Amino acid sequence: MTHSRDEDGLDPLVSEHNALSRRMLLAATAGTAGAAAIAAAGCSEAAQSDVEKPAEQAFNSWERTKNFTNGEMDSGTPWVAPKQGNFDLSNAFDANLARLKIINNLVGERTYVPMVLRAISGRSEQPGGVMYGGYALFTWQLQVADPKEFPGVPEGTALQRAQYSCVYVDPQSMQPVKETRNPITGKMMQLNDYIFVENFLWFPNGGVGFVEEPEMANDDPNAVKMPHVRELGDDIILTGDGIYSNPGKHHPRFTMALWRASLEQIMDSNRPLESAYYSHQGVSKAYEKPWTGHTVDEDVIIGTLASGKKVHSVDDISDTHKRLILEKYPDRV
């Protein structure tokens, strides 16, 4: 390990205890991050059912696939939108393009969303505490959806290849550490990196499909569904919510995301790669990260708040993220 400080003042004491074999035994983080970027708003159908019953199976995001293994990020055809600006936000087709320009881009380039985060635990009757901090990164690539892999999707559908990478840190210093104390149990937690990959389908009329986890988003590919995009002063705001729709011990489990970008820049067809501000809240049960020491029968929840910014060049990613994430996971570029 190195001890030189980067420009952000961090001591890059990168944890060395994240052997894959151990990770496979340990549980997940607020693995709601990816879906937060996306899913359309609304109460899940299950939530509205009168006959809903808790499920036997408890979802655990730690079991997500960790890496693309067939060059998926680079092998597809980059997706380029037919329109780059001047969107009519009252039209679902245009609003979908505005949404994709806010969170991604319409010209087939790579998108990065570096973010900082902190997680708080909560429980019934008793106070919780600050659990951990983190530095995380989304790496996204929009591609033309291959009909062989995704048969039946409408023409114009964009496939989003997504990689998520997170290194957890001490929440009181935001410095890398090997372990930190669980404020509820008092026991030391050996922090484990959280990495996964996922695929999303963006349908041209506004619907979304989360390929691996349709419980989070599974819209009719042809139905018109208005993305929640609105003007606010000089800005344009996008909201996205995802409620995990299957009952089970994993509840409460949901994500919310808010994006803010310059309205002028998003509407300008000559400005294809613009920055955006990202905010995310994810809530899940603590057992999804077993290295916290919590089990599936405990009611402890973890709420995660992340604040990030969208960029399109590795050069625009902070040194902190380069040191903690990209040096360790070079495939995340």
Partner 1 sequence: MRSEIAQNSPAEKPSGVDPLRRLIVGALAGAATLAGSADVRAEIAKKKGAQEEELFNAYNRTKQFTNSELDGTPWKAGQLGNFDVNDPIENRLARLKMTNNLIGKRTYIPMLTRLVIGRDQLPGGVVLGAAGMFTWQLQEPDAAEFGELPEGTAVMRSMFTATYLNPETMEPVKTLKNPVNGKMMALEDYAFVENFLTFPKGGSRFVEERQFSDDDPDKPKMSLIKPWGDELVLYAGGTYSKPGDHQPRFTENMWRCKKADVMDPNKTLIEMSYTFMGANKAFEKPWMGYDTNDNDMLFSLAIGQKVHRPEDIPDFHKRVLVENHPDRI
Contacts to partner 1 from residues 184-213, by CB under 8 A: 184-187
Per CB under 8 A, the list member of 34, 122, 176, 209 interacting with partner 1 is 122
Name which of 138, 150, 180 is nearest 15 in CA terms.
Answer: 180
Is the four-CA dihedral 94, 96, 100, 106 of positive or negative sign?
negative
183 counts as binding partner 1 under rule CB under 8 A: yes
Residue numbers 43-72 binding partner 1 by CB under 8 A: 43-44, 46-48, 52, 54
For partner 1, the binding residues in 124-163 under the rule CB under 8 A are 124-130, 133
Contact string 260-299 vs partner 1 (x = CB under 8 A): x----------------x-xxx-x---------------x
Calpha distance 158→142 (Å, rounded): 6
Q: Does 9 bind partner 1 (CB under 8 A)?
A: yes
Q: Which stretch binds partner 1 (CB under 8 A): 20-28, 67-75, 98-106, 118-126?
A: 118-126
Q: Which of 142, 208, 301, 326 binds partner 1 (CB under 8 A)?
A: 301
Smallest gap from Cβ 319 to partner 1, in A, equals 7
Residue 87 CB, shortest distance to partner 1, in Å, is 17
Q: In the complex, what is the shortest distance from the CB of residue 263 to partner 1, in angstroms, rounded to a whole number?
A: 11
# binding residues, partner 1 (CB under 8 A): 74
Report whether 68 contacts 161 (CB < 8 A): yes
Per-position DSSP letters for 138-179, written without gaps between them: EEEEEEEPPTTTSTTPPTT-EEEEEEEEEEEE-TTT----SE
Apex 32 CA angle, 239 and 167, nearest 5: 115
Q: Of the two residues 72 and 179, which places its CB atom closer to partner 1 in the complex?
A: 179
Told to check if 109 binds partner 1 by CB under 8 A, we report no
Q: Does residue 252 have a cis bond before it (omega within 30 degrees)?
A: yes
Contact (Cβ atoms closer than 8 angstroms) between residue 105 and residue 269:
no
Shortest Å, Cβ 21 to partner 1: 29
Q: In what order do the strands lie in the sheet with 254-262?
A: 208-210, 194-202, 158-169, 129-144, 111-122, 301-310, 276-285, 254-262, 235-243, 228-232
Three-state secondary structure call for residue 281: strand
Query: Measuring CA to CA, which residue among 158, 140, 153, 156 is closest to residue 68?
Result: 140
Q: Which is nearer to partner 1, 75 or 173 (CB)?
A: 173
179-187, 190-198, 200-208, 264-272 -> range binding partner 1 (CB under 8 A):
179-187
Rounded CA separation 239/225 (Å): 14
User: What is the rounded CA–CA span in Å between residue 90 and residue 86?
Assistant: 12
Three-state DSSP class for residue 36? helix
Minimum CB distance to partner 1, residue 105 (Å): 20
Give the other-Cβ count within 10 Å of 127's Cβ: 9
Task: Tell me how far, at minimum, the Cβ of 313 lies from partner 1, in Å.
Answer: 13
Q: Which is nearer to partner 1, 258 or 273 (CB)?
A: 258
Beta carbon nearer to partner 1, 184 or 266 = 184
Of the candidate residues 256, 286, 325, 326, the single one contacting partner 1 (CB under 8 A): 256
Q: Which is nearer to partner 1, 81 or 257 (CB)?
A: 257
Stretch 225-244 residues interacting with partner 1 (CB under 8 A): 228, 230, 232-233, 235, 237, 239, 241, 243-244
Beta carbon of residue 317, minimum distance to partner 1 (angstroms, whole number): 8
